[in-house]
Structure formats: structure tokens, C-alpha cells
Structure 1
């Protein structure tokens, strides 16, 4: 069986399957060029409460005009399905550059059940989404009476304005009109009209209308970036000044060889701090397998985030439905070599022997954490019959990507890490008997150092978190990936600086358990992000209901898990370099 899985034909088939699954996310509906009277498809997508972005349902779950038998579906790729999209041909006849004054879609005969469905939808502020030539249209289902809120009105006319430049569609707009009161036994004629309007806007700029420039490029956004840069300059300067001056003095005292006996005795009686734990500072930490797996995964996530941001800047991934999700999944798979390499090298250098266990944990830790949260959310979505439920076929595609790309690359990276960077190279020899750790003041304990370590990194990104959260939860298109790149670089620098300071204080307190503390100190940034998400939920949104609340905090939990592992790895790696550097220049007899 193993031989069959590794045969060239099987591998080629898997790669072809993945390419076909991912490619539609970057492909257009066609070449986006039409001739006069060419058919233009109006795709219906989803419907749901406006205040609950993830609570979406099939458009035809409401008793709208149904299409004929076997309407065509448009599957746009892995990311589009994960985003809860299901495009169905409305079979409403549109032709390029052909105006339609008023045409019938169908007639709806209202009964008690249909009236109740529409009334419940209107009370919940249901909106729907259509697509024409990959451009979205949005509108509300109906409205309540302006003077009498017990009366509900359904919009029965869809007025579409389509602007075009030559043979290409540039912009679409949908206006709902002709509201009719909902009453059982009433017959409603559903109609539409289309007006084609020429424009000079080029195809390259047709998506600009969906970008909220005043919101994302507001002066507070620029100010937050400037403020974070000032924090970086101040913090790096402070770290350099304090640590270099302190360490220089320590080195000078510790390296003296020709002092008189009195000076040596005085120095010996005064000596304390990080120098005294040189025989224990490189002692392997507890739960080495878990720590090495987390650090390897965090290193991979760091590269992944950087890669996706750069691709988004170059390729404008925000234009395509689900393009960001697809890019993230594929880039995660193809960067798995990094997690294996970092994890395998760290585990081997620390004396670990069960490298297969380490490799398996590294390959599966983050995906399975996300799978656990996703499985719970998917169960809720299935119960609600929501489009947010992930189809079984999509799960198979994701599993295939993990099993045939991510897992083998992690294995390969682990092998390379063990052989190329796995040799122990500690500057100081580890003593046989562990040194007892003296009691220190409460603020020098690992728990306090870990808790306080995430404050400044969170402070450097919390303004950007507002824009990211608003994009994801409040229907705005995030496009300022240049800002995100700057914030990501700032986050990495601040995290490294803060973690180095925390590690130095811990070692000065003669506590040599710096490995987990440095990781937790940086990872605590995620805890503050999650606390901010709770504030954002109650203050900045109008979400309600078990479904949306579950998805909000479930998605945020996965997001914070990623941030925590990423920052933890960055903090650990920075502290590791710092610790090796300071102990490299002392005598470790």
C-alpha cells in the first residue's frame, strides 16, 4: 500500500487534484469580455441576518422565485467554500448592453408559512448577496412599516444598473423597490429591470469602489504606525543601553584573572545573578517534545504570515472570493519544511531521542487544534443548516493537502534539522545536579514575567487589530497589507526585545527555567488579543444568537492560537540567541 501511495502516478494525481481545487480561487468567471447580447449570468449566493456575518443560508431557503430544475452551481475553489459561499444560477435572463425596462421573474402566492418566513427574515434584517461577473450586489429582503412596525413589506422589484467600458463590466448596483405588504393569500409579482451605462473607468480599477479609503487610510491609522515605530526605537534603545552596560560591567568583573586575593574574595561574596546559573541555563526544559513542536510551528507561522502578506501586496488577493483562505492553506502546507527543521534541530540539540514523536506532534499540533475548534463550529452550522457548514468533500481536500504535502515536508524538515543543526553546541556544560532556585520577589516569578510580557507587543498591534476585526466582522474589504507588513515587523521586534528583557531579569533572579517562560511571555500577547475581542464583540458589533456568538469566539480562538504560537516562537528564538550570546563570553569551568 505504501508503494502505491508513493508511485509517480499517484503523486501526480494528488498534485493535479490540489491544483484544480485551488486554481478557481484565482481564476475569473471567464475572460470578463462580452459581445453585445451575450448572456450575463446573475448568480445568487446567500442570505442571512445583517448583524451576524457568519450566519448565512442558501438564498432559496426563503420562498423566493425558484429556478428551474437542476440550476448550475459555480464552485469557486477551496477558499470560497470555506467562506460559506454557494453560487447558484438565478436563471434571470440578462444580456450584455441590453436594457430591460421591466420584466417578470415569477409570481409568489403568499400563505401563512411564507408570510411568517419573510416576516422573521425582515425582523432579523436579512440581506442577500448576488454576483454579476464576479462583482457583488447586496440588498435587504424587505422593511418594516415606517409608521406601523407590525406591518412588513417585501421588496418585489430589483433595479440593476450595470456600468461597462467597451466589452467589460466595470460596476454593478442593485436597488430594491416596490415594497408590498405581506398578507396571506396575496399574489406578489416579482420583477426586475436592467440599465446599462457606459463609463471611462478601466477594468483594472473596477474593484476600487468596494474599498473604504477614508476608513483604512484615516490619520489615526498612520498615527498608530508612527507611534509603534517610536515604541520600537525607544524599546530597542532601552534594551541596548541597559543590557549592554550591565553585561559589559558583568563581563569585566567576571573575566578578571590578575586581581589580588582581597578583590577576588569581595567579588565572590557579591557575585550573584545570571552568571551563577551557567551550569543550569542550558538544561533541557520539561516537556521538550511539546516546546520544540510549538517553536517549530511558530517559526512556520511567522514565515507563512510574511509570505501571505507579500503575496497579498503583489497579487491583490482581496479581489478574489476566498483567495486569502486558499493562499493561506496552500502556503501553510508548502512551508511545513520550516516547522520540521526548526523543531527537529531544537529537539536534537536539547538531547531528545524520540524524534518521530516530535515530528508527528509538530506536523499535527496546529492543524488538529484548528480542526477541533472547526469541528465544533461545523456541528453547530450543520444543525442550523447554514452555508457556514463545511462540506465533506472540502474536508477531504484539506486532509489530502495536509497528508500528502504538509506531513511529508515536516518529516523531511525534521530529518534535515536533526542532521544539520541538531548537534549540541551549548557554550556552557550542564552540571549533573540542578542548582536550587532561590526565592525572589513576586514580580520576578515566571508567571508574572509571562503575564506582563505580552502587554507591549499587544500595544504595538491593537490599533491594527481594530481594522482587521472590522474587516472580518463588519463587511469591509481589508486591502492595506502594506500597513500589515509594517505592523508585523514591529510586532516581531517588540516581542524579541520584551522577551529578552524578561529573560534577563529571570536569569538575574537565578531562575534558569527561561525556555518556557520566554515562550509564554511572548505568547501571552494572544491572551490580550482575545480579551480585546471580547470588548470588540460587546461594544463594536450588534451580533446576537448562539450561532454567531459561537463562530465569533471560535474563529477568534483559532486566530489567537496562531498569534500565541507565532509570538511564542519568536520570543523563544530571540531569547535563545541572547542567552547563547551572553554565556559565550564567560568562563564556564
Structure 2
């Protein structure tokens, strides 16, 4: 390499690695800084409860055992408690139900104890509360766009970190009966950490909540405990059985169940109180206030690096293989086989329909050269392949946009629901690319019913996704969960699909089919198809694409562990290492291209010209391994309980694998198409 080019290459390499290392931990925690003065009210919003053991979430105010909103306004706010906050599409789809509350928080004013209400709950409500505590549900509140956090310390006690949310209650084993006891957390100690702003006022840099269960006994007139900071007996979720009612109900039976939960008028009173303390924290910058939510994730940075190294090793080995195929095999055949070149110069493809006599001249050449008259033959079911490739291009545009925006910090934890909202917008807008590539490929295949192709492209994948979500929503609706998508939101999504995306697909398809020319092929196709000789077992069964799909999966599976953990286990956590994910995704794309090129070349060398569908299936076949990984993860890592939660897990896993299949399948198809065109253009007939 000339010495003048080395500094330039070194400069670009340094710039790329600097950008990646910067994006691995770069995020923007918010776009507007809110400053508070002493005595200024700070709204405390309540959201939902969620658990790592189930996919069902519930709005906080839908719980029958918490204080309902009084409707009173606090701190001069024009809205009373229980007022819903406007949510974006992503927040609604992730199950958020954010509302104003009756908790009064004033900047700089400590409150040792304040009562909210005393809630009377029935036996059935107590039973449900115990079930939620058994499933480890946690509560999410929001203050200054920060989720209320439970504070933890690392094992070596060197660092502090947060986990979003705090426990609904606790359980233990009764020493006298040996049966489980359940306690509801009814007192909340709110700690707000602040620092002074250079421009004046105070900035909130931390929001911690420490819940506690305190018995309803020994309380003051205002409802607060007499000794709030001393160890006290917890408030047990237990209503003594009404033996008279049970004897009457189970008259004549030798056994009377004492845990009958039928409402008989008996109630349990749960007093709710809270404390507020402000503590100055000068060592935390406002721009870094989200760091404590990520400290625990940084411990896995070494694993992320191992994932990248593993990906690079696999991709490099495949890259060397592709280089050998191209530089020594393909180009060597073209340059070294003078006999074959001489025959190609005298071919008359238009007038010779069979060309069997000319093929005899290639008996001593590579098998792929014998397919010059059939390699671009229109594949079977081309009317389905074109829409699938179009949908894949749509998903590729959406995914690329999300990764770029995430690495730049535009999509960050403070932009609640932003990832889903922006992704939905990019997907709808990318309908024009879906229509264009589908229409132009359909025209290249010789299709004529472009409006039918447009309709299939616009309805196939979005229709599958919408119908699946609608069916799942019926199950979630039956559970009265906030995970259920409201009817109005479903109508809005349907309108986005039919009124915006479908016209964009039509516009793109019209441009690709009517205005653009079909992609030209370097060789013309024979009138009579060549007979394909017997193929090896790995080329005539689904085993071939499945085996090749294991290689891209090997690139991805380490990073998948982190993604799955944040999606299915640490719902309170925030995945933010998009720089690592982008790096692995880039290597994944390169690996898919390399694997597909190698598989396509092997098929052509076996004198098999049916490479169109195979390239698409080879590129997307690692989706099978990812779904198998989902099954393994469900069995050995998750602790999901309930039929609905299991159904949600596997249904959404299937939908995610379908997205991945279309995306990587399209990448593989385009790579094979470009490879075949480039190879056969070298023997193009003059």
C-alpha cells in the first residue's frame, strides 16, 4: 500500500472507533432542564405496577387496595389528582398509564409524615394483593421525568446503583404456623436528591423511594404512626375467617376451609402515609443523573466486548472464504478457461433455444458457467418473493434509523416510549421504499399485475402483525391489564396503516413499476429450462439453510442475552448500550452477506440455478435458531407464570423472529443477487 494512503486510512479508522466508543455510553437524559425554587411544588405522578414473573401490568389507580385519587388539585395545579397525562404511542403500547397523584412534594420542604387515606379492602381484594406480592410486583412513580428507584450497593460496596420501581409488599413464613404471610407496603419514604443550578434554582438529580409496611395500630389522630422511624410490626394482608358464616356455608361437611375468599362484608383497613426528605447531592451532574440506573449494566461491558470479538472472528473467517472464492476461483475460471470464453463469444442466445450443443464445450469448466442460460430464470412464486423483499427493505430502513438515533442519543430513557413511537413512524414512512423495491423487483420478474403486487406488499406483513396483536389484546383485555392496547389506540394504528402507509406503498410501487426500468441482467434466459442434476443432501433439504443460519446466530447470541434480559426480566432497567448493539448488528449484516454468497456459489457450482428463494431463506434462517433460543430462555431463565403471560412471550417472540427473518432474508437476497450479477457479467455475451 502506498505510504500516502496509510495516514488517511488510519485517520478514518481512528474516527470510526472514536465514534463507536463514544456512542456505547452516550445518551441525552432530556432536552429541557427544569429548575425549581424553594417552596415550588413538584408534581409526583403515579404510573403502573409490573413484575419480572409476568407480562401483565396494571395501572396504579386500578388497584382496589391503594388510595383512589381524590380529584383535588395540589400546589396550584389546574388539574386534580387522577388526571391522565398525555402519552405518546410508545408509552401507551408499553402499558404506561401516567396520572397525577395526591402526594404533595414541595422543593426544599421536608415532611416527616403525611397521611393520604385509609382504604378499606374486601377479602377478594386482599387475595389479589397477596397474589401480586407473590409475583414480585413493583410500583413505578415518576418525578421530574425520573422513575422512583430502589437503591442498591454493589457487592464490593464501591458503587451505588438504581433499579426503577419499588416493591408493592413483602412476604415471609410465619414462625408459629409455617404458612406464608404477606405484608402490604403502606408508608413511603421519598428521598429527593438535588444540586444547585449555575443559573439559579435547584435541579433534581435523584428520586428514591423506600417503602415500608407499618401496622394500623398505635397511630396518631392524623393517621401517622407514633414512632415512624423505629422498627414496627408490618400490616399483614389477612382478614380473620368468619367461622359462623363458614359453618353455615359448609354445613354438613367434616372439613371447613378457613381460607375461603368469598366476600362476607368483612374488610381490612390500610392507612397510607408518606415522608419526604430533600438531600443535596453536589457530586452528580444533571446530565449524568441517569448513570445510576446503568451502573449495574456496565459490569457486563467485558461480555459486550467478547461478543464483538466473537463476531469479528467469525466474520473474518467467512470474509477470507469469500475472497478466495472471488479472487482465485471465479476470476481464475474466467481468465483461465480460454476455451470457454471462445465459446461464449460465439453464443447466439436469442436464436438458440436449447443451447445443449454449446454447453458441451463447458464440460471442463466450473459448474456455475453451465448455468449462463438459466441463472436469471424467474423463480417460482415470484409474486410472493417480491412483496417479502419489499417488506424487508421497509424493516431495514426502520431498524437502521432506530440504531442511528439511539447511538446519537436522540432515543434515550428520558424520552419515554420514544423507541416504539419513532420506530412506528419510521416503519410507516418506509412504506414508500417497500413499494418501490417490491414493484421494481416484480417488474424485473416479468409481472404485469402491479396493483395486486402493491396490495400484497401493503397488507402481508402489517396485516399479520396487526391481527396477532389484536388477538393477543383480547386475552389481555380479559385480565383487565394496562398492557392491553385501548380501543382508540387500535383504531389509530389501523388508520396509520390503511390511510398513510398503504398510500405510501402504492406511491412507491407506482414509481418502481411504472416509472423505473426493471433491473437488467447480463445474460438472457433460454427458452427451455436446463435439467438440474441430483443434488447433495444439504442442497435439497431444509437442512442446508438451517445449518448456514447457525453461523449468523453465533455472531448474535451473546448480545441477545443482554437484550432478552432487558426485555423479559429487567423490565425496570433500561437498555442503553446501543453502540455495542450497532457494532454487533453491523458485523451480523456482513456475516449474513458472506454466508449467503458462499451458499449461493456452492449451489451454482452444483449446477442448480434455483438460488432466488434459497438466498432469501439462507439469509433469514438464523431466525429459526433465535426462536429456539427463545424457547431455551423461557425454560431455563424466565420464571413466567400464567397462560396469558406465556402466550404473550411466545407470540411476541414469534413476531420478533418474523421481523428478523424478513430483514436478514432481504439482506441475503440482495447480496446473492449482486454477487450473481457481478459473476455472470464477466462472461457477458457481446
TM-score (norm 1): 0.90
Deviation at 1:186, TM superposition (A): 4.7
Partner of 2:576: 479
Corresponding residue to 1:116 among 115, 123, 127 = 127
**Number of equivalences:** 560
What are the residue-to-residue correspondences of 1:533-572 with 2, within 5 Å? 533-572=630-669
Q: Does the residue aligned with 1:454 lie in a helix, a strand or coil?
A: helix
8 Å CA contact 2:191–2:276 kept in 1: the answer is yes
For the aligned residue pairs, the C-alpha RMSD in angstroms reads 2.4
Cα distance between partner residues in 2 of 1:143 and 1:265: 79
Q: Do residues 75 (structure 1) and 157 (structure 2) align? A: no
2:673 paired residue number: 576
* Aligned partner (choices 36, 42, 59) of residue 34 of structure 1: 36
Residues 61, 68 of structure 2: 8 Å contact kept: no
8 Å Cα contact 1:47/1:57 also seen in 2: yes
Report the CA distance shift for 1:268/1:551 in structure 2 as closer, same or farther (over 3 A).
Answer: closer
Whether the aligned pair in 1 keeps the contact of 2:533 and 2:607 (CA below 8 Å) is yes
Could you tell me how far apart the structure 2 residues matched to 1:339 and 1:570 are?
A: 14
Paired position in structure 2 for 1:182: 237
Quick one: which of 381, 394, 402 aligns to 1:287?
381
Residue by residue over 1:408-445, the C-alpha shift from the partner in whole angstroms, topping out at 9 and shown as x without a partner, is: 22222222222554335111111111112111221222
The offset of 1:331, in angstroms, is 1.0
Q: Please list the CA deviations of residues 127-163 of structure 1 after superposition, one character each: whole Å capped at 9, or x if unmatched.
A: 2211112211222122223444432222221111011
Where does residue 379 of structure 1 map in the other structure? 474
Q: Counterpart of 1:141?
A: 168
Any idea what the Cα deviations from partners look like across 1:212-245, whole Å, max 9, x if unmatched?
4544643121011012112212211111113431
Larger radius of gyration: 2
Counterpart of 1:194 in structure 2 is: 276
Query: Once structures 1 and 2 are overlaid, which stretch shifts more, 60-69 or 85-94?
Result: 60-69
3-state DSSP of counterpart to 2:635 = helix
Q: What CA distance in whole angstroms lies between the structure 2 residues aligned with 1:99 and 1:482?
A: 41
TM-score normalised by structure 2 residue count: 0.77
Provide the rounded CA distance (Å) in 1 between the counterparts of 2:32 and 2:337: 72
Match of residue 364 from structure 1:
459
CA distance in 1, matches of 2:203, 2:629: 44
* Aligned with 1:348 (options 423, 438, 443): 443
Runs of 5+ consecutive residues of structure 2 not aligned to the other structure: 1-27, 72-79, 149-164, 197-201, 215-233, 240-266, 344-357
- Residue of structure 1 aligned with 2:294, choices 187, 211, 214: 211
| Aligned 1:52-451 pairs, distance under 5 A | 52-69=54-71, 71-137=82-148, 138-148=165-175, 149-166=179-196, 167-177=202-212, 178=214, 179-184=234-239, 185-200=267-282, 201-212=284-295, 214-215=297-298, 217-256=300-339, 268-271=362-365, 273-319=367-413, 320-419=415-514, 421-445=516-540, 447-451=542-546
d(CA) in 2 for partners of 1:487, 1:216: 18
Give 4+ residue runs of structure 1 displaced > 6 Å after superposition: 26-30
Q: Which residue of the partner structure matches residue 20 of structure 1?
A: none
Partners of 1:42 and 1:464 lie apart in 2 by 36
Relative distance call for 1:165 and 1:438 in structure 2 (3 A) is: same
2:500 & 2:342 partners in 1: Cα distance? 60
Question: Is contact 2:89–2:421 with CA below 8 Å preserved after alignment?
Answer: yes
Secondary structure in 2 aligned to 1:105?
A: strand
By how many angstroms is 1:248 displaced?
2.5
Counterpart Cα distance in 2 of 1:265 and 1:359:
39
Q: Do 2:48 and 2:57's aligned partners in 1 also have CA atoms closer than 8 Å?
A: no
CA distance in 1 between counterparts of 2:390 and 2:268 reads: 64
Equivalent residue, structure 1, for 2:258: none
CA distance in 2, matches of 1:363, 1:278: 35
Higher helix residue share: 1
Measured in 2, the distance between the counterparts of 1:101 and 1:470 equals 38
